[in-house]
Structure 1
Amino acid sequence: MAFVLAASLVLTACSSDQDPAASESSEGKINIVTTIAQIAEPISVIGGDKVHVRSLMGPGVDPHLYTATQGDIKKLEGSDMIFYSGLHLEANMVKVFEEIGKNKPVLAIGDTLAKDSLLKDQAGATDPHIWFDIDLWKQALEAAVEELKQYSKENADYFESNKTKYFQQLDDLKKDAKDKLSQIPEEKRVLVTAHDAFGYFGRMQGIQVVGLQGLSTEDEIGLSDIEDTIDILVKHNVPAVFVESSINPASINAVIEGAKKQDLDVKLGGELYSDAMGDAGTDEGTYLGMYRHNVDTIYKALSGKGE
């Protein structure tokens, strides 16, 4: 499939057709396309009125399984710059990025991070969900901003000033999250979700994370995964588990039902944003708002102090 898409990209590059919407809305601005909104929204803030940023993947979209459409390839071809997360998150699009990167700046921002700062699973696969570690995400965004400054040197000071202001908000968010989540009792600090997307979040916040699927949603869930998770819930008397906005909730519902058979009343703690953010125009459609939503949802469900 990736080979076919790469071939389609070459054909598209031979055409003079470009996305008219992009041409109209980004006239005079740097046209940036990203894969996930976790990159697009911060870069739109930092780039300000000098950039026009769009993400290919919207709310509820799973980047692990996403395959570029012909329309996506046209958007990529019509862009000035492309940022994607990397670390095998957008596995089905790598060949496309390699091909189009021959003609314009294309950066996998996660691949710029130090290898020893990244988490790996038991099989040695790198965890790509780096946006849940605010410090790592700042480093990844820093790489994107440096690329932007190189592309538009005349606006470098503007981008740097906006980045400094935005990073201060990230630092404030990090402190607020730490303060709130530290109030969850030690024995309740177990976060159970549909797939293993919150490893960096758990490392930063001192919370044990259990994902029914592995790092990718392509991984299968076995009966033993569900049973092992139920055992953990019973052992720690965990009060709640969580669904994810981009993942089928069936596996989590199976855990809840299984826990009931062992006389443990486990509630659905709420919906978390993992691989995708919320709708554009909402607070959860921003990186800061998405992260804050997750913190508040986890705190209320695990602390028993619902507001």
Structure 2
Amino acid sequence: MNRERSRGKNPWRCSHRYPLRRRRQSNPGRSRRSTVDPEDPEQDPDDGNAPPSDDVEDDDEAGPVVTTTHRWFDYPLPVPRMLRETLEMLHYDQFWITYVGTRYRHPVLHDDWDMTVEISIPDEFGSRRNIHVRHAPTRHNSHEAAISDAAREALTTLCHAHREDMAITSRRYYPCRLVERLDAWIANPGAEQNPRLESTIEYLATLNTDYNAALDELDMVRYENRKLRAWVAHGVEPAEEEPVEDPADAPRRKKARYNDLEARTYIRHHED
């Protein structure tokens, strides 16, 4: 399939032919991550398996890893839906939610996705400006999981920024966190005298603490795995990865050990 035929009919389908295709044919046992057939222009683009657009960042030389960038505008998953509904409740005018994913494709291994969510609004110059940018805490094998994680990070910090606006809504029970902090908090439901709600909030706080710790451990394991793969392939210690340059107002969440007090989710009154 040439490059011209892959464009036009379906703007949601990735138009770049990866240089590792020849290697994949020599390994028929490897299953493909995506169910979208690049040769089928009639396949449904809204099934969540293909991005609406992508920007290729790699060259045409075959190598062990191929890197591409993909973009989605909103996404039909529970956490992205909650993020969109929260922005609507806050009356943001003409906002866009853009998920920008970097895909690392390996010849024989699972893909890695690094995801960022950008929330933008129109500016006075007729363009758009980002008002909120957050990153998924770790890479994931699927873009769906990476999108959900990035949306959760955005929702958590957005809820803290607008905690006063949410004080009289049910969204005050969403976990909230300052961008530069590790600890999160949830509003205390004691005033409502609802034992079921109190138990649910307590469980949610514990679950949020455990989930954040699990993501940090997963990120460490993925990093060590990349180092081991490089050692096995080349017999040398791999070079350190260059740090990702994040905007000053959108730093990545720091890492912490599981039982660190500063990394827990607490229950407290929204006035605190």
Q: Tell me the TM-score normalised to structure 1 length.
A: 0.23
Structure (1/2) with the larger strand percentage = 2
Q: Tell me the TM-score normalised to structure 2 length.
A: 0.26
Structure (1/2) with the larger helix percentage = 1
